A and B are shown apart, each in its own frame.
Chain A
Amino acid sequence: MNLTLKIWRQKNASDKGKMVDYKVDDISPDMSFLEMLDVLNEQLINKDDAPIAFDHDCREGICGMCSLYINGEAHGPDRGVTTCQLHMRMFNDGDTIYIEPFRASAFPVVKDLIVDRSSFDRIQHAGGFISVNTSGNTIDANAIPIEKHDADTAFEAATCIGCGACVASCKNSSAMLFVGAKVSQFALLPQGKVEATDRVLNMVKQMDEEGFGNCTNTGACEVECPKGISLENIARMNREYLKASLKG
């Protein structure tokens, strides 16, 4: 396949940035999207141009490092995948593809397609944990049975990879799906209930301070989420938040 790429280039955080056109030829449909960018970068290096900076690591859809806003969608046109799992067979010969960074004021651009998602980490520092020491001197793992449905639902929430596609897709740049997933995971487990009140209040406070927008129930986050994290998690977080606020 031969393709035209329109890619966001931005030297650093203070640079203004612009779209630049590139051409790549002989792209195999079996390549992943990032392997296609590898081909472009090899071309650029050989021509003494600066390669495109983009985040990536595991290249199997689990580390959450890769991002990219492709043709107006986080992680591109396929569903249930990250950019590294997006394959070129989703595109046609002769296509023009627009590639931009995830855009949100809480995710400032670092360079080209790389953004700074440390705001997500700071939300987790505020309460994304259970306060138990890691000494191992705790009760036996089977001492508290947990209903399979609750354990499975907690697991589904916990499969969030923290990539930020929800924020990038939301017209309000809201992080409610991301925060809701963590709040839900712990709210569904007996171990997490002990400090549920403080957790939700602290995490939501930090989320607001980071400059993420609010949720207006559009649901774009759920559609674009590569891991299929459910909107129910936002509803659960809202319930938890209300409960916690009433408790004071």
Chain B
Amino acid sequence: MALDSKIPEGPIADKWTNYKNHIDLVNPANKRNIDVIVVGTGLAGGSAAATLAELGYNVKAFCFQDSPRRAHSIAAQGGINAAKNYQGDGDSTYRLFYDTVKGGDYRSREANVYRLAEVSANIIDQCVAQGVPFAREYGGLLDNRSFGGVLVSRTFYAAGQTGQQLLLGAYSAMNRQIGRGKIKMYNRHEMLDVVKVDGKARGIITRNLITGEIERHSAHAVVLGTGGYGNVFFLSTNAMGSNVTAGWKAHKRGAYFANPCYTQIHPTCIPVSGDHQSKLTLMSESLRNDGRIWVPKHMKDVEAIKAGTLKPKDLAEADRDYYLERRYPAFGNLVPRDVASRAAKERCDAGYGVNATGEAVFLDFASAIQRYGKEQAHVKGLDENNADLVKKLGQDVVKNKYGNLFQMYEKIVDQDPYETPMMIYPAVHYTMGGVWVDYNLMTTVPGLYCIGEANFSDHGANRLGASALMQGLADGYFVLPYTIGDYLSDDIRTGPIATDSKEFEDAEKEVRERLEFFVNNNGSHSVDHFHKKLGKIMWNKVGMSRNIKGLTEAISEIKALREEFWKEVKVPGTNEEYNEELAKAGRVADFLELGELFAKDALNREESCGGHFREDSVELDGEQKGEAKRDDENFAYVSAWEYKGEPSDAVLHKEELEFKDIELKQRSYK
């Protein structure tokens, strides 16, 4: 099947408006006869469910957590971008569009990104109206901060808990509709398959995680807002339950999977401390507004710090290597994430890592504390030369901005980041790849939509900070509610979809067989055993730096691990009870397939772009020597993979990317 991205005609600034003016609508009375399933209740799923219910559709929403409020969007820290230009620093829709396309290393679809930038300002209006308590200035207006890869302040925030506040906003909008009976909420339900009838997505099969009951749910359209697949690496900043199952089942039912190898390794996370570790914790990119990243210049100081004979705060300025400021003077500590992560890896690989494992660099707030302290002392008419006072005042400002992050760090690492610099290292954070969707956010399966992190559409090969929240809410509040109406306008006479058809029966049978296989397999190793092994292969061979040899090995190792998993996995208990191991087994089985496709995609893409860095594709000379080298002539396309059984049989379809409004050029942050 040829890919049709369905991008509307016309100048880029008019596409969305023209599109909205010409789509088919469903009248309010008919909406009452149409059912929509929304899987996942994070920013994308939650906002979509609430909006669709407000419009009048009957919504059934599903989440695997015990409440929609717990979806992992809640953990997003730093902020949300919007082209409001409240700071008067030159921001505009075009500039947000441009920054996002450039930040994504020219691997995203222009029309989608422009639309995202266009609706971004509205998100902030909407959230304030809902009672989201964004940070404000003393004059009562909204405050902004800066994020990586941009030269303006366009990020709105709520301390280090912006995701929490936005999600609770979407959750409150859902609650209003649940209270009115327009959303029927299914908590602790996991989607285990998509059901297609006559080629269209018409329902899902779920498992009640408490009772083990397998249920059939039908609808006129199905929306997946099920998040990213970073947990394929086992260790990531994702929640323990975050998984690819919904997207992968959709893939198996005909939805193409796009750019699986585009993964964001976030530069500032708390380093791994040991084999017991179950997850990694992010320290928000917003910290790079005020924190400076460094390692010692000299190896003797590295060794002294590791041995504990030298305190990092006592190392003289002249002996520190602020390597981001050195390499990228224009953007300094606020280079995009992929660039910052690779730079940290480069220093640590060269032996300058500052902790016992050699995989950590410093993120230092001492100069920010000084700067803020002096400013506060000046404002309050106090003595600017009183070092203790300045430090105290400065720490108060930093606490006000990032208090919860500093507390998280202290609890995990048992060190006080107000006194000694944080130690950080890159970790898997976000997946730009995902289910392929057209301009309407519909997958290659008619009636099956995919929104938020679960789809691939807006971030290209690298996502800029504070853009995930923007995309999730844009998709759910402002884009999908229009585009899905155009599709559903054909369904006003369809009537309820029966769940006793053969298609539902077959899908349910497959789901049951797989669950029964797991509980009866009596293998020798737990699910986590396999998941950890998969994670190690992914991190070592498909991680921050990739080469042909490693990727080829990864493909065969993952395949072998998958075969061993199906022979040797051990799942205690039964299907008819709360059984977390059983739920995990299904998720890891899907990760074991996705992981191989991921490596295959990385092998196919013989260029470096964004988060995908190929060692055989770097700039060899000039100002950009050693930086990632893109190959626009051969790889300016989206890789959309079609399922054909084994991941090795997956067929590649190319969506050629056209850049009409932005000139393709070397991404420089120097």
Contact = CB atoms under 8 A, between A and B. Distances in A.
A7 interface: no
Interface in B148-202: 158-159, 161, 164-165, 168, 171-173, 175-176, 178-179, 185, 187
A64 B71 CA distance: 10
A138 B168 contact: no
B575 to A, nearest CB: 14
A56 B126 contact: no
A158 B67 contact: no
A78 B580 CA distance: 27
A158 B165 contact: yes
Interface stretch (B94-102, B271-279, B314-322, B560-568): B271-279
Given A63-B74, A85-B408, A138 B125 contact: yes
Contacts of B612: none
Contacts of B573: 50
B572 A63 contact: no
Which one of B168, B178, B281, B528 has the highest number of Cβ atoms from chain A below 10 Å of its Cβ?
A: B168
Interface in A181-228: 185-186, 189, 191-192
A31 B173 CA distance: 38
A12 interface: yes
A136 B72 contact: no
B509 interface: no
Q: How large is the interface on A (under 10, 10 to 19, 20 to 34, 35 or more residues)?
A: 35 or more
Contacts of A141: 84, 124-125, 127-128, 134, 142
A60 interface: yes
A229 to B, nearest CB: 13
A57 B125 contact: no
Interface in A46-73: 46, 48-51, 53, 55-65
Interface in A136-150: 136, 138-142, 145-148
A158 B164 CA distance: 9
B65 interface: yes
A12 B136 CA distance: 47
B281 A60 contact: yes
A12 B175 CA distance: 28
A65 B572 CA distance: 23
A117 interface: yes
A147 B570 CA distance: 57
Given A117-B66, A134-B477, A155 B159 contact: yes
Nearest to A63: B70
A126 B179 contact: yes
Contacts of A155: 133, 135, 158-159, 165
A80 B50 CA distance: 32
A97 interface: no
Contacts of B54: 133-135
B5 interface: no
Interface stretch (A32-40, A169-177, A230-238, A240-248): A32-40
A130 B172 contact: yes
B407 interface: yes
Interface in B95-141: 119, 122-131, 133-141
Nearest to A142: B141
11 contacts: A35-B276, A51-B580, A57-B239, A58-B72, A60-B281, A62-B164, A135-B51, A138-B129, A146-B136, A148-B136, A155-B158
Interface of B: 47, 50-51, 54, 65-70, 72, 74-75, 84, 86, 119, 122-131, 133-142, 158-159, 161, 164-165, 168, 171-173, 175-176, 178-179, 185, 187, 210, 237, 239-241, 273-274, 276-279, 281-282, 404, 407-408, 411-412, 414, 477-478, 526, 528, 570, 572-573, 577-578, 580-581
Given A45-B572, A46-B526, 13 more contacts: A28-B276, A56-B240, A58-B240, A61-B411, A62-B75, A126-B179, A131-B176, A141-B127, A148-B137, A151-B133, A151-B140, A155-B159, A158-B168
The 3 closest A-B pairs by CB, nearest first: A145-B140, A129-B172, A136-B122
Interface of A: 11-12, 28, 30-32, 34-35, 38-39, 42, 44-46, 48-51, 53, 55-65, 78, 80-81, 85, 87, 89, 110-111, 114, 116-118, 120-121, 124-126, 128-136, 138-142, 145-148, 151-152, 154-155, 158-159, 161-162, 185-186, 189, 191-192
